[in-house]
Structure 1
Amino acid sequence: MSLPDLTWQMVYGRLAWAIVLATLLIALVPGAWRHSRRLPLAALGLMALACLLPGQASPAWTLGLAFQYPSALLTSCCLLKLLDRRRGLRAICALPPGLAAPLAIAGAALYLDAFGLISQGYYYAGFSATGVPILAVLASAACAAAVIRDRSRRQALPLLGAFLLFSLLRLPTGNVWDAVLDPILWAWALVALATAALRRLRRLPAAHDTQPEPTPGLAADLPVLSVAGIDPYSTIKEQVSGKVSSK
């Protein structure tokens, strides 16, 4: 197990929190200002200056007490969101359901393990000195191949950034779970899944609004039956009883 240098951790923490706060700031500004392509750079510069303030004057210091460091995956997703805003792509989701679902499941397993409900030591396994580095290198290669082949690029790009940062500098904490998950990202994944589920439910037609269409062949034969003196909507019993009574 190798831990990152403390200086690199401090630099990463301030820059990562600046990117996350800039993304949140853009999400909170009014819609008329949100269309500006200069807003991402202005928000990122403002948050970077704020996070570089010394000591308790920096918001990164306060956020670090509550959440430690943002995961590399959260930072990559926020940076991708800022780039999308910069290019004018406002409708693209930086955390699609294909990425949000495994994050939500992994986060639930980690929190259940931390609370002692399953007690499998999942988090401490992220400090492994042999299996985790190999897994990170293989995951980086898989993500790079997906980006080159243009397959699931929206999921592969942030994951590639997270695994590369962990493989090269062991950031943010030396644990692979901290590189791909944190409380803010887990909450974001849950909200993204709930939003996608609500949109899918709205697209489904109501069951009581659907009416069966008449069969073309049967509809064509109805006039013929009516001409023959047989009511096509009456039952066989009613037709037989009508013929007997007529005799």
Structure 2
Amino acid sequence: MSLPDLALQIIYGRLAWALVAAAVLLALLPVALPKLIPAPRRRTIALTVAAMAALMALPGAASPAYSLILVFQYPSGLLLGCCMVSLWTRWQGKPVRFALRPGLALALTLAGLVLYLDAFGVLALGWYYGGFSAVGAPLLACAVAAACAVAIVRGRAAGSAGALLIAVMLFSLLRLPTGNLWDALLDPLLWAWAAGSAIAAFARRQSLRKLAALPPLLEPAPVFASEADAELVPVHASGVDKQL
């Protein structure tokens, strides 16, 4: 078992929470206050990230990161990766999806449910503590990194694959955030986000099924105000030829 350096862990916590807070603000404020805060431009994005970094860098308990770490621990590498991808997408002027992709959301929801029940001793499978394994965890991280690289090269879910690649690279190179592979891939905030995204995707699919089950609308027959209007209807070409 290899744990990260404490100083590096503290720096990671401050910087990670700054990027997460900036991504959340840039996602929610334009929706809550569309007239006062329109779609953020590059200057707004840069100022928001700089302000959050300065705020999180305050010493001791003056930093919001101090309280956030006490309540939520460190952000997972995957949550940090998703926020970094979101910020980069906004920087390029492209639209950002607030919800996670349904496949990733469902996988994180189920995995988090099992791991949290295991960590609390409800299942007692020992899977969470397997994230500290000196052999299994690095091998799994390498396999995930290889799959993400292939997905990025093929252009399949490049955003999600990039965020996942950031998470496994942080774990593989620096053992961040805690030295446990599962903490690099999941945290309480990310699990809540994934669960909400999965529920929203399920509700959207159910609504589409209900719409598909509705009978098609019949085209209304033409209504003429008078006989003169009825005579204005185009005559079939064959009928015209016969008259000529």
Superposition TM-score tier, normalisation by shorter sequence: 0.7 to 0.9
Structure 1 residue 172 and structure 2 residue 181: aligned?
A: no
Partner SS, residue 111 of structure 1:
helix
Larger Rg computed on CA atoms: 1
Question: What TM-score results when the alignment is normalised by the length of structure 2?
Answer: 0.82
| AA aligned opposite 2:89 | D
Cα distance in structure 2, aligned partners of 1:27 and 1:208: 35
Residue from 58, 62, 67 that aligns with 2:67: 62
Check the 8 A contact 1:94/1:154 in 2, yes or no.
no
Q: Distance in 1 between matches of 2:50 and 2:136?
A: 39
Q: Matches of 1:17 and 1:91 in 2, distance apart? A: 20
**Inter-CA distance 13–123: structure 2 relative to 1 (3 Å threshold):** same
Q: Is the 8 A contact 1:26 1:34 kept in 2?
A: no
Unaligned runs of 5+ in 1: 214-247
Output one character per residue of 1:174-218: Cα deviation in whole Å (capped at 9) or x when no partner.
Answer: 0000000000000000111111122222222458742799xxxxx
Cα distance between partner residues in 1 of 2:173 and 2:49: 25
Contact 2:22–2:52, Cα closer than 8 Å, also in 1: yes
Distance 1:83 1:48 in 2: 16
CA distance 1:167–1:207, change in 2 (3 Å): closer
Pairwise CA distance, 1:83: 1.4
Displacement over 4 Å in runs of 4+: none
| Cα RMSD (Å) | 2.0
**Quick check: 1:14 aligned with 2:14?**
yes
Distance change >3 Å, CA 85–CA 120, structure 1 → 2: same
Partner of 2:39: 35
Please tell me the residue identity of whatever aligns with 1:171. Answer: L
Q: Work out the percentage of aligned pairs sharing the same amino acid.
A: 51
- Per mean C-alpha deviation after superposition, the further-off stretch among 81-90 and 101-110 is 81-90
Q: In 1, are the aligned partners of 2:78 and 2:164 still within 8 Å (CA)?
A: yes
Aligned residues: 213
Could you tell me how far 1:110 is from its partner in structure 2? 1.1
